[in-house]
Amino acid sequence: MPIQITSKFVAVGKALINDEWLPVTITGNRTKFGPEPVKCSILLDLSHKESWANKLSGLSSRLTQFQGQTADGYYVWATDFEQEIVTAYSTLIKWEGTAKRFIESNKGDLNVINDEVTYSIFLPPIPLTSVDPNRNSNSISLEGNDEYEFISWNTAIDKARLIYSKLYFEETIGIDKAIVKVQKYEIKFRRKFSKINSIMDFFENLNEEVSDAIILISFICRKYVEWYAAQVNYVINTSYRDHDIVEAILYRLTSSAYRANQVIHHTWDAETVIQKGHLSTELFQGILNNYLEFKNKHMIYQTILYLLKSYEDNYLEVRLANLYSALETLVDGLSKENDIMYSLKNRDFSKLSKKLRQVIREELEGDQQTAEDVIKKLSELQRRSFIDRWLDLLIKYGVDSSLDWLLEHSFASAPKTYETSNDAFSFLSTVLKRRNNYIHQGILDNEHCLADLRLIQTLIELWVLKLLNCPDSAIEIEAFKSFSYGPSIS
């Protein structure tokens, strides 16, 4: 776990309380280089304004945002404050809670030179440090700041770059000063602004700028990645000749499940589904373009989210349920896209069902209720079976050939669980029956559930790679060892 440094602040400013701005003192902690929430306390002194006490009504008061300035000249804002505890004293009210969006800046000036702003989006540690990097050494800190670029992709005016660096700097830990090494993962890029009304404008729509790339990085790393802070730097005029750099940083509250859940990583498997060496080429740009241009992009997005939840440390039943959801998202979504969801067209089925309704009523003439119950199920006859659609789509999108390639190039001395894709596909009907027993009856097959989990995870990952047009030669074979040589589902 990388070191996370907590920094305290005290600011004087104002807060929006019950739709009115009132003067307050703000204290809090924010964590550098880690996705911990920004915890704050806001104090309102009532001793000089009796009317405030009457208006606030103590514990029923509501604080939603604040802004202020620290003694060393930093500006702070919370645009979305989630209060947790309110304490009312005779002359004081104290709000404690989490700033879901917390911003600090060394200056309040918004006069950006050349309309250009540089961004750094901070990510938690991801398993890409062993990629053969393009080294870019910038010795700007105590013992240097070596930057390693892993992935890059095009933005509106620039290239975004995923960078890993080790920072060394002096920090106070407790009462002692120490040299601290911090691992930093960030996405760097630039944007242009024609007009800025508020420092919050810099951070608007920022998630849309990076979310597509981050979901693919998450998929590649088998780990849900969510950015937790964003820093902007821009140049302003301080005089006729002099310039100064403004630095502002937004700390964003990430999801609680993301902060808490650990990923289950099989010791046999490599950490990424694509070979790390390929990621520093144009491959990532290619799969990102294919993702953005895919007709049903949201289907891939939702599939990846369900898939990643199946890798998180949780009850096996929960992991399986998420994986089954990923499978259904792909099969049903692609069935509709390829028009293979139904055996008959609506007009043909309407004619057939009309005849079937007549036969059912004649055969069950004495039991009208049963006849109506059977008729209600007729619409299900139009839909093709899940297993038939699953198998057809696996072949249509070439998942069988990718699986054959994967098994053929696996080189461990142990015997393989499956020799070919046909071996694996022959078990899918049985896998689906166990899925139905679990989903509809709550019956979990403890003997085979782990093998089922790994088989479906592998098929979905290969399938998504096919949809993104990732070549088989870029697949990380070592990421699938626990599938290729793991337990059989038979």
Q: What's the pLDDT score for residue 44?
A: 87
Q: What's the pLDDT score for residue 454?
A: 92
Higher pLDDT, 394 or 485: 394
Choosing from 260, 287, 322, the residue where a domain stops is 260
- For the chain, the C-alpha Rg in angstroms (whole number) is 29
On whether residue 130 sits in a domain, the answer given is yes
On whether the CB atoms of residues 208 and 221 are closer than 8 A, the answer is no
Handedness of CA 46, 49, 50, 54 (dihedral sign): negative
On whether residue 374 sits in a domain, the answer given is no
Query: Are 294 and 406 in a shared domain?
Result: yes
Q: What's the pLDDT score for residue 384?
A: 83
On whether residue 51 sits in a domain, the answer given is yes
Which range has the worst mean pLDDT, 111-115, 118-122, 158-162, 188-192?
A: 111-115
Higher pLDDT, 197 or 397: 397
On whether residue 356 sits in a domain, the answer given is no
Q: What's the pLDDT score for residue 490?
A: 56
Whole-number Å distance between alpha carbons of 49 and 44: 10
Whole-number Å distance between alpha carbons of 30 and 11: 13
Mean pLDDT for 310-322 is: 90
Pairing between β-strand 63-70 and β-strand 5-17 as defined by DSSP bridges: antiparallel
Query: Are 330 and 462 in a shared domain?
Result: yes
Which range has the worst mean pLDDT, 75-89, 94-108, 162-176, 326-340?
A: 162-176
Query: Are 253 and 145 in a shared domain?
Result: yes
On whether the CB atoms of residues 113 and 234 are closer than 8 A, the answer is yes
Q: What's the pLDDT score for residue 141?
A: 36
On whether residue 377 sits in a domain, the answer given is no
What is the domain range of residue 176? 113-260
Give the chain's domain count.
Answer: 3
Whole-number Å distance between alpha carbons of 450 and 434: 12
Query: Are 324 and 389 in a shared domain?
Result: yes
Whole-number Å distance between alpha carbons of 161 and 152: 4
Nearest-10 crossing angle of helices 316-337, 386-396: 70
Mean pLDDT of the chain: 83
Query: Are 155 and 28 in a shared domain?
Result: no
> pLDDT for 262-307, tens place per residue?
777 777 788 899 998 888 788 999 999 999 999 999 999 999 999 9
Choosing from 66, 87, 105, the residue where a domain stops is 105
Split at pLDDT 50, 70, 90, the class of 258 is low
Whole-number Å distance between alpha carbons of 67 and 102: 10
Q: How far apart, in Å, are the Cα atoms of 228 and each of 134, 200, 222?
A: 25, 16, 19
Query: Are 86 and 123 in a shared domain?
Result: no
Query: Are 458 and 322 in a shared domain?
Result: yes
Report how far Cα 422 is from the mean position of its chain's Cα atoms. Answer: 34
- pLDDT higher than 70, residue 250: yes
Mean pLDDT for 405-417 is: 76
Q: How far apart, in Å, are the Cα atoms of 381 and each of 107, 254, 373?
A: 67, 45, 14
- pLDDT higher than 90, residue 253: no
Query: Are 168 and 217 in a shared domain?
Result: yes
Whole-number Å distance between alpha carbons of 231 and 211: 16
The dihedral region occupied by 230, where left means phi > 0, alpha psi between -120 and 50, and beta the remainder, is: beta
Which range has the worst mean pLDDT, 170-179, 375-384, 436-445?
A: 170-179
Query: Are 118 and 80 in a shared domain?
Result: no
Report the percentage of the chain scoring pLDDT > 70: 85
Task: Give me the DSSP letters along 421-467.
Answer: HHHHHTTHHHHHHHHHHHHHH----TTTHHHHHHHHHHHHHHHHHHH
Higher pLDDT, 240 or 237: 237
Mean pLDDT for 163-188 is: 77
Higher pLDDT, 157 or 392: 392
Residue 273, helix vs strand vs coil = coil
On whether residue 246 sits in a domain, the answer given is yes
Q: What's the pLDDT score for residue 86?
A: 87
Among residues 325, 315, 484, which one has the least CA distance to residue 402? 484
> pLDDT for 181-223, tens place per residue?
777 899 999 988 877 777 888 888 888 889 999 999 999 999 9
Query: Are 313 and 455 in a shared domain?
Result: yes
Query: Are 414 and 477 in a shared domain?
Result: yes
Identity of the amino acid at 168: Y
The dihedral region occupied by 308, where left means phi > 0, alpha psi between -120 and 50, and beta the remainder, is: alpha
> pLDDT for 78-96, tens place per residue?
988 988 888 888 788 899 9
- pLDDT higher than 50, residue 328: yes
User: DSSP label at 412?
Assistant: -
- pLDDT higher than 90, residue 136: no
Q: What's the pLDDT score for residue 116?
A: 84
> pLDDT for 330-383, tens place per residue?
999 999 999 888 776 777 777 777 788 878 777 777 778 887 778 777 777 767
Where does 280-345 have alpha helices with state H?
Answer: 283-293, 297-309, 316-337
> pLDDT for 446-482, tens place per residue?
888 888 999 999 999 999 999 999 999 999 998 898 8
Q: What is the pTM of this model?
A: 0.85
Task: Give me the DSSP letters along 350-397.
Answer: HHHHHHHHHHHHHHTTT-HHHHHHHHHTGGGGGBPPHHHHHHHHHHHT
- Number of Cβ atoms within 10 Å of the Cβ of 31: 17
Query: Are 214 and 287 in a shared domain?
Result: no
Choosing from 48, 82, 105, the residue where a domain stops is 105
Tell me which residue has tokens 């802070």: 229
Q: How many CA atoms lie within 13 A of 213 on its CB side?
A: 27
On whether residue 361 sits in a domain, the answer given is no
Among residues 279, 231, 246, 294, which one has the least CA distance to residue 111? 246
Q: What's the pLDDT score for residue 137?
A: 39
Q: What's the pLDDT score for residue 238?
A: 63
Which range has the worst mean pLDDT, 18-22, 252-256, 421-425?
A: 252-256
On whether the CB atoms of residues 357 and 378 are closer than 8 A, the answer is yes
On whether residue 346 sits in a domain, the answer given is no
User: DSSP label at 389?
Assistant: H
On whether the CB atoms of residues 200 and 75 are closer than 8 A, the answer is no
Q: What's the pLDDT score for residue 184?
A: 83
